[in-house]
Every structure is written in structure tokens, then in C-alpha cells.
Structure 1
Amino acid sequence: MSQKQHHTTPAADRIPLMQKSAYSVGMFVNNLQAAALPAMMIILNLGLGIDPFLVGILGFIPRIFDALSDPMLGYISDNTRSRWGRRRPYIFAGAILSGLIFALMWQLPEGHSETFYFWSFLIALILFFLAYTIYATPFVAFGYEMTADYHERTRLHAFANTVGQLAWIGVPWFYMLMSNENLFRDTVHGARTLAIWVGAVVAVLGIMPAILCRERRFDAPKKQSEGVLKNTKEFISGITVTFKCKPFVKLCASTFLVFNGFQLGISFSLYIMIYYLFNGNNYLAGKLNGWFGMLTSIATLGVIPLTGWIATRLGKRNTFLLTISLSLAGYALKWFGYNPDMPYLLLAAAPFVAFGTGSLFTLMGSMISDVCDYDELTTHERREGVFGAIYWWMVKVGMALAGLLTGILLKVSGFDEALAQQTPETLLQLRIFDVGIPLITSAIALYIIYSYPITEERAYEIRAELESRRGKIG
């Protein structure tokens, strides 16, 4: 088959619309939790007055606990046997727990010391990320195994990420909402109220995939009854084998660089808007931040299905190379968009930035599904949970480092939250961090993914070999 020829997805491999929709609602919940927390973390610094370095520590330590728990939960989910399946019980429980904890952890009482706030929030964050892991790790693995078809996998993740992207449209407005004096006494009061609404949405909508989606039948490995020591050895061995899967390592490395480079860079954007574009005016900065985030999110809604369409014609690897290259143009445009005389010029960069954020997880979710087949060919095991957990472990370690580095780089730049006006040197460094970091990391990711080996032709060859060996999975 030539690279321009494509397989047609048979009806048996199509995912019913109801199940695809339910999974997409779960993606919205997953993204809401991922987006809401960092959007509200700035309140710890600008609302409660916690030192930015300590805020960076708060962004780092809980994510390390989260990253350590992910692979273990993935292994447990892969090896779970229950009448409800391998994934759905954890998705149901995790949605309720994470929603409840998110709502409660922002209910910090007034009038306490920085030390009190730091330790209280640190403990709450660790508990939240544990609950989030219980939800997210089986949920992600569920998406990898809902269909065996190369193109239907891309359609599923394009559909789910389009719905999930709706979370990113609203979240950029959180700071403006929390700082609205007509609604709340102060930003801390705004955060308390908003957290309750977010937690309720997570708990109610997060259980939808567990209720409405059907799991495909897999023969779970018989490892649970072999004892704790044996299972621990198998778990560690499985992690080692996973990291030896070269296509998977390439996907992890490229995602680590693209997404966490974006996250680290954009951590400085609101500071630049407040102190460089609007001379300390929180409301005006929050308004521009909301418009930039919403425009990026709306553009992303178009980029995601476009990515799926392009991928069925150019292939997943070539689509990645195209879309991430376009995002580089967006980051470069941000440098010129930071203009105090024309602050809304920044919005011109948003559609280009959207090509990076919109295409990444649409392609990666589908490509990891292909990697799971590639891995089964060698290991004779279905390990979607472990692959999904380690993939997101890489993302979360990067997010932890981004949170830590944000605090460190704020210190390096000379930023002082007590000052109404920051020095020109500080503002220049913040702009360099904002633009330069994602430019460099995304360029390295392009180099890495250039040699990704699983083409459409190879993916169908792998599927045929697997089905001839163990039959189709119902």
C-alpha cells in the first residue's frame, strides 16, 4: 500500500455516538481539572501573599506524588477484574472524590500565616492529585482501547478533545471573574466560590463515561493472586519494558517538550499583562488574558477536527510536524504582541498558538493506541493503563518542574509582588521566558518526532498479526 492509500474503517470498528459523546464529556472533566488548578494558583501569590518560590514548591511537590501514583494505578487498572470492567469503577469513584476535594481545598480561612496556608494547601493538593489519578489514569486508558481501528482512534480523540477544549474556553476568564469586586469581596473569596462550582461539575459529569461507555473484552492477566512481592516485581519489570519501547519514548519526549514548554512559558503571561501592558491593573489584565485564552480555545476547537482530517491524509507524524511548526510562528508573534501601546495586538498570536495546543493530544492519544498494539506484538500483553499512566507521568513531572521553575524564574527575574511597578529588566526577562522557552522546546520536539516509525501501513500490519495470533477483541 502506498502512503497515499488509506484503509476504510469497517462498521464493527466504529464507536457508537452515545459512547463517543460520554467519553468526550469525561475529557471535558479531565481538562477542567487540569486547567482550573493552575488558573487559580495565582491567587496563592496575589491573593494570599504567599512567596512565589513557595507557590512554585506547591506546584512541584504534589505533582511528584501524582506522578508516582500514576504508573501504579495504571498497573492496577490493567489487572483489575470486576463485573463492571477494568476502568469504569475507578472512573466513577475518582470523579466524585476529585470533585469533592477540589471544592474543599480552596475553603481556606482568613487571617492565618503564610506557613499555615502553605502546609494546608500542600496536604490538600496531594489528596486532590491522588483522587485525580484514580479518575484520569483509567479514563485515558479507556480511550486507548475503545476501538482497534487506526483512523477511528484519531476520530475518537479528535471528537473527545474538541469537547474537552470547551473547558479551556471558560478557564482563562477565571482570574477576571475572581477579581470582580461586584461579585466577590476579594480574589480569595472569588476562588472559594468558584471552586465549589468546579467541584460540582467534576463530580456530576465525571461519572458519565463510567455509566454510558462499554468496555471491550480483554483477558486480564492472572497476577493479582500471586502475592504482593510478585506483583511488585511484575510492576517494576513492566515499567522497565515500557521505557524500552522506542516509539513510545519518542511520543513521551515530544509531548514533554511541547506541552510543558507551553505551560512554563504561559505561566508568565498574566504577570506580563498586569505589570507590562496595564501598569498593575488586575482587571484589565484579566480581561485581556480572558480574551487571549478564549480566542486560543475557540481556534483550537477548529484545529482539533482539522488535525484529525489532515492526519487521515498526511499521516499522524507528518501532521504533528506541520501543526507544531505553525505553533512556533504563534510564539514568535507573541513577542511583538506584547506592546503597551496596542495590548490587544497580542490576540494575533492566538490562532497560531492553537495549532500546538490543539493538535498535540489529539494526535498523541491516537498514536499511543497504535503503540499499545506495537507493544502487544512483543510482550503478548495489553497494557493501556501502564502506557497511559507513564505518558501522563511524563507530562505531570514536566508540569511539576514547570511549577517549580516558574517560582525560581520569577525570583531570578527580580519580580517582587509587593511592588506596584516592576523594573524594566524584570519585565524583559519575563517576556524572554514567555516566548523563548516554548520556541526552543517545540523545535526540539519536531526533531525527535521526525523519526517516529509507526505509519498507517505498519499499524494495519501489526493489527493483522495480532488478530491472527489471538483473534479479535470483542
Structure 2
Amino acid sequence: MPHDSAPTPPNTAPHAASPSPAAAKSEDDRLPVSTKAAYAFGGVNDIFGHWWYANIAGNVFNMHLHLAPTLIAVVLTVSRIVDAFTDMFFGWVSDNTRSRWGRRRPWILGGSIAAGLALPCLFFASESWDASAPWMSNRLFWFMLISAVLYAPIISAYTMPYNSLGAELTPNYHERTNVMAWKAIVQKISGIPMMSVWWFAQTFHIDPATGKPDVLLGVQVASAAAGLVMILAGVANFRFVRERYYATAARQERTRFLDSLKTTFRSRPFLILLGILAAYAIPTMLVTNLGGYVSAYYVFGGDQARMGQYQSFSAVAYFVLGTAGVFVTSWVSRRFGKRLALTFTLVTGILAFGSSWWMYAPGHGWMVVLNTAFTGFAATGFWVVLPSMSADVVDDDELNTGKRREGAFSSVFSWISKVGMSLAVGGSFILLDLVGFDATREGNQSPEAILWIRLLFAGIPVVAMATALALLTRYPLNQKRMAAIRTALEQRRGTV
């Protein structure tokens, strides 16, 4: 699902106290294309490591193996909460690591290898296991729970150092947004195979004895291929991306976990960004799974193969408009500032999700594809700008504390989002039970259940994004303030 944005202000010369929006970037601030490409490639692991499983779990374990939605909700919720706490640990460990390879890169290499090898193991279930057994003796449930919980610290060992590295690649206000734009484009590309895996699983191998697809085999093969890509992404980051602030960070004292946590929560700009993140990401994650059920059982009448096909088309459309969203949002950010760029993406999201009420219509699969494309445009803009804003928060914190703590901020950001989003993912399956959804009825769901799923899918994101817009008006770190912070930092510790 895995898997933040805000508008991008203009850049400033290293020692200019009040640079204009048109001020040119210094050459030292510009990152080589190879560095941005290598770092962006690492974003694949965030998508595959966190969202691959969440995206396909409902299809595999509920639609195919018929495990109860509530039990799947328990697995996704518990594993994501464990993930959130291990993120906190690895963010702190990464900040305090000292090695010949830096603070982040050793963890990035080792974490990517372990996570890539382990990904296909999450689907080594057996169709012979009784999904209807009581939860205490339900082998399928316990397999899901144990494997997902064990995977959580493995992917955390990669993502926290990786996200922290992104915040320290450049001190340049605009270049930070450019880095996140590169990453967003690569992540859009990686979303295509992720959203196509169910279609692949339905068509990869047809059992000649039964005439039915071997779904589990298809998912395992696809996951193994995704795992290989994850390993290559980690190697690329280890090899081609350097840690710009390592010399500065290596001179500072190691911080204790609780002290670092307390200091992080004293940052007012950071708390505002946390609120925006929670208001946007948690509710949209809540309805992401519901969208698949609206497609499968309302638009396509229970025809999962056809739904899987259109999911693949939707993935391509999401990528195309999502990529367009990168360029449009980056332009708005450079021209008008990060806050207005984020406002633009949130308003677009309100329109996209609200229109799903009309665009998800029976028999009109292409309308679903178009709606998915519109949500991709909004989501990409959000995840381009918010990480760029969080990098600005790290500078503000360094000015106040004298320490570079990218890992602390990345881990708290992740903790809040993952705890909330785990409740959202789990909550979506609980909502399915509450509204009367029954997977065994396949395409014959009750009209009341379908109506409630459609209402929740369209309504929840609209209210949530309106809340995020209200919080955004309180964010204080504009371009002028960040120029002053950079000048003060470079006068104190020199340029990096």
C-alpha cells in the first residue's frame, strides 16, 4: 500500500539572507541525475514492501481462500502496528549508527536483501487449510498473522534509513521537491505491477485437472519477481547515493530514544504536518480496500477476472495521471509555494473521491479507470510535497536543537501514519462485516451492503481532506522562513 507532500518554494544561494523566488540554485545543491534516479529506484521497496501485501491480501485470503474479513483485519492491523513500532526503533538506530559506510546505507543494503527474499513467503499458504475453522485453530489465520508480523521489522530496517536519507540529500528547498518528484514517478511505475498482480494470478497458470487458475502460484511467482526488484533497488542506493550530512552527524552525540522522541514532538510545524498526514492518509487508506469491493461486486457483478483486468488498466491510468500530477504539482510549488501546491492536490482529491459516487457504475469499467486516474493525480501531488516539507522541518529542528535527526522525524511520521493506517486497513474489513458483506455470496450481495460500501467509499475521503485543508492554513515554514533558517545554519556549522 504502502508509502507525503506539500508545495515547493524557490531556491536560495547559500549565504543570501532573503533570496527571491527566482534565485538560482547553487551548483553544489544540484544532485546528479544518477543520484536522483538511484534514490528514486529505492522507492519501489516502499511500495512493494508495505503495499503489495495489503493490496492483495483481501483478494487472496478473502475472495480466493474465503478467510473471514474480520480475521484479515486483525492480521493487517496487528502487523501494521508492529511495523509502526519497529519503524520507531530503526529510525532511532539509524540516527545513531556510525560506520565506514555512513548511518543509512548499511541498513538500506541489508534491509532490502532480507525484505526481497521474504516477500513471496507471505503467500506460502495452502488451499487445504480450512478457512472456516474457529480462529484459535485456524491455520490460515495464524499463518497470515505470524508471517506478516515477522515481516514488519524486516521492511522497517530498510524504509526508515531510506526515508531519512531522502531528507538529507540536499539543503536546497526546490531540489528537495525534485528528489521527491523523481521518487513519486518511480513509485507510480511500481504501482502498475502491484495493481496487476491479481490479474496475473488469474491467468499465469490454469490447472488442467480443474480448469481453474492456480491463484496462489501466480501470486507467489509475482511476489518473487517483486522481491528481486527490491534487492536491486537497495543495492543501487548503497552504491550510488551518498550521505551528505554524515560528517556533521558523526560529530554529534548519540541520543537516547525517549529524549529524541520528546524533542520531536515539541516541533510545532511537525505536529501540523502529522495532523495533515493523519487527516489525508488514514481515511483514504480506509476506503482503498472498499474501492476494490465496489468494483468487484457493484461495477462487475462479482466477476473477479474482469475486475482484475480493469484493475490493471486502472494501474496504468493511475500512473499516467499520477506522473502528470508530479509535474503539475512541482510547477505550482515553484510558482506559488508548497502550501498552495498542497492545497491544490487536496482540492483535486476531494473532487476525485466525491465523483466516485457517479463514476463507479454497473457495467462501466472505463469510468472506474478514469476515476482511479484522477485520484492518482491528487495522491501523487500529496506524496511529492509532504516529504519535501518534512525535510524543511528537520532544518528548523536543527536550528533549535543543534542536531540532525532525520531518522527521528521519519520514524514518528511513519509511526503515526502506520498505526492510523493499520486501524484503517483493519477497519475497512470490519466495515464490510458490519454492512453485511458476505464473500460466499459472490456477485449476489444485498443492495443495502452495496449502498453502504459506496457511501463510505465516496464520503469519508471528502470529509478527511477538508480537515487537512483546515490544518494546512496553520503551517508556518514558508519559503522566506526557510531561507532565513538555512542562512543561520550555514553561519553556525558551514555549508554541506
TM superposition score normalised by structure 2: 0.90
> Which residue in the other structure is 1:199 paired with?
227
Of residues 135, 142, 145 in structure 1, which corresponds to 2:168? 145
- The Cα shift of 1:336 comes to 0.2
Q: Supply the distance in 1 between the matched residues of 2:76 and 2:111 (Cα, whole angstroms).
A: 21
> Which residue in the other structure is 1:334 paired with?
356
Distance 1:105 1:345, change over 3 A: closer
> Which residue in the other structure is 1:175 paired with?
198
> Which residue in the other structure is 1:17 paired with?
33
Is residue 55 of structure 2 the alignment partner of residue 39 of structure 1?
A: yes
CA contact (8 A) 1:79 1:221 kept: no
| Bigger Cα displacement from structure 2, 195-204 vs 90-99 | 195-204
> What amino acid does structure 2 have at the position aligned with 1:356?
A
> Which residue in the other structure is 1:106 paired with?
123
Residues 368-422 of structure 1: CA distance to partner in whole angstroms, max 9, x if unpaired?
Answer: 1110000011111100011111111122112201121012100111001111310
> Which residue in the other structure is 1:227 paired with?
none
> Which residue in the other structure is 1:387 paired with?
409
- The Cα shift of 1:442 comes to 1.0
Query: Unaligned regions of 5+ residues in structure 2, if any?
Result: 1-16, 132-137, 208-212
CA contact (8 A) 1:78 1:220 kept: no
Structure 2 residue matching 1:441: 3-state secondary structure: helix
Residues 122-145 of structure 1: CA distance to partner in whole angstroms, max 9, x if unpaired?
Answer: 111112111110000000000000
- The Cα shift of 1:207 comes to 2.0
Residues 190-211 of structure 1: CA distance to partner in whole angstroms, max 9, x if unpaired?
Answer: 2222221122221222221011
> Which residue in the other structure is 2:95 paired with?
78
Structure 2 residue matching 1:8: 3-state secondary structure: coil
Distance 1:183 1:199, change over 3 A: farther
- The Cα shift of 1:78 comes to 0.7
Is residue 305 of structure 2 the alignment partner of residue 283 of structure 1?
A: yes
| Bigger Cα displacement from structure 2, 80-89 vs 282-291 | 282-291
> Which residue in the other structure is 2:487 paired with?
464
CA contact (8 A) 2:95 2:406 kept: yes
CA contact (8 A) 1:255 1:360 kept: no
> What amino acid does structure 2 have at the position aligned with 1:102?
L
Q: Supply the distance in 1 between the matched residues of 2:235 and 2:473 (Cα, whole angstroms).
A: 38
CA contact (8 A) 1:332 1:435 kept: yes
Residues 131-183 of structure 1: CA distance to partner in whole angstroms, max 9, x if unpaired?
Answer: 11000000000000010111111111111211222111222211122122755
> Which residue in the other structure is 1:87 paired with?
104
Q: Supply the distance in 2 between the matched residues of 1:419 and 1:92 (Cα, whole angstroms).
A: 46
Of residues 264, 272, 289 in structure 2, which corresponds to 1:242? 264
Structure 2 residue matching 1:220: 3-state secondary structure: helix
TM superposition score normalised by structure 1: 0.94
- The Cα shift of 1:7 comes to 2.7
| Bigger Cα displacement from structure 2, 188-197 vs 20-29 | 188-197
Of residues 203, 212, 215 in structure 1, which corresponds to 2:240? 212
- The Cα shift of 1:445 comes to 0.6
> What amino acid does structure 2 have at the position aligned with 1:419?
R
For residues 416-455 of structure 1, the aligned pairs below 5 Å read: 416-420=438-442, 421-455=444-478
- The Cα shift of 1:347 comes to 3.0
Is residue 293 of structure 2 the alignment partner of residue 271 of structure 1?
A: yes
Structure 1 residue matching 2:492: 3-state secondary structure: helix
Q: Supply the distance in 2 between the matched residues of 1:293 and 1:438 (Cα, whole angstroms).
A: 20
- The Cα shift of 1:345 comes to 2.2
Residues 100-128 of structure 1: CA distance to partner in whole angstroms, max 9, x if unpaired?
Answer: 11122212234123311111221111121
- The Cα shift of 1:223 comes to 4.9
Q: Supply the distance in 2 between the matched residues of 1:220 and 1:131 (Cα, whole angstroms).
A: 25
Distance 1:4 1:377, change over 3 A: closer
Of residues 128, 152, 160 in structure 1, which corresponds to 2:151? 128
Residues 201-251 of structure 1: CA distance to partner in whole angstroms, max 9, x if unpaired?
Answer: 212222210111111132336655xxxxxx6xx211211221121111111
> What amino acid does structure 2 have at the position aligned with 1:80?
T
CA contact (8 A) 2:95 2:408 kept: yes
Residues 286-320 of structure 1: CA distance to partner in whole angstroms, max 9, x if unpaired?
Answer: 12222223212211011112211211111001100
Question: Identical aligned pairs, as a percentage?
Answer: 29
Of residues 80, 93, 96 in structure 2, which corresponds to 1:63? 80
For residues 255-266 of structure 1, the aligned pairs below 5 Å read: 255-266=277-288
Q: Supply the distance in 2 between the matched residues of 1:3 and 1:264 (Cα, whole angstroms).
A: 42
| Bigger Cα displacement from structure 2, 125-134 vs 32-41 | 32-41
Q: Aligned pair count? A: 465
| Bigger Cα displacement from structure 2, 187-196 vs 67-76 | 187-196
Q: Supply the distance in 2 between the matched residues of 1:221 and 1:335 (Cα, whole angstroms).
A: 56
> What amino acid does structure 2 have at the position aligned with 1:407?
F
Query: Unaligned regions of 5+ residues in structure 1, if any?
Result: 225-230
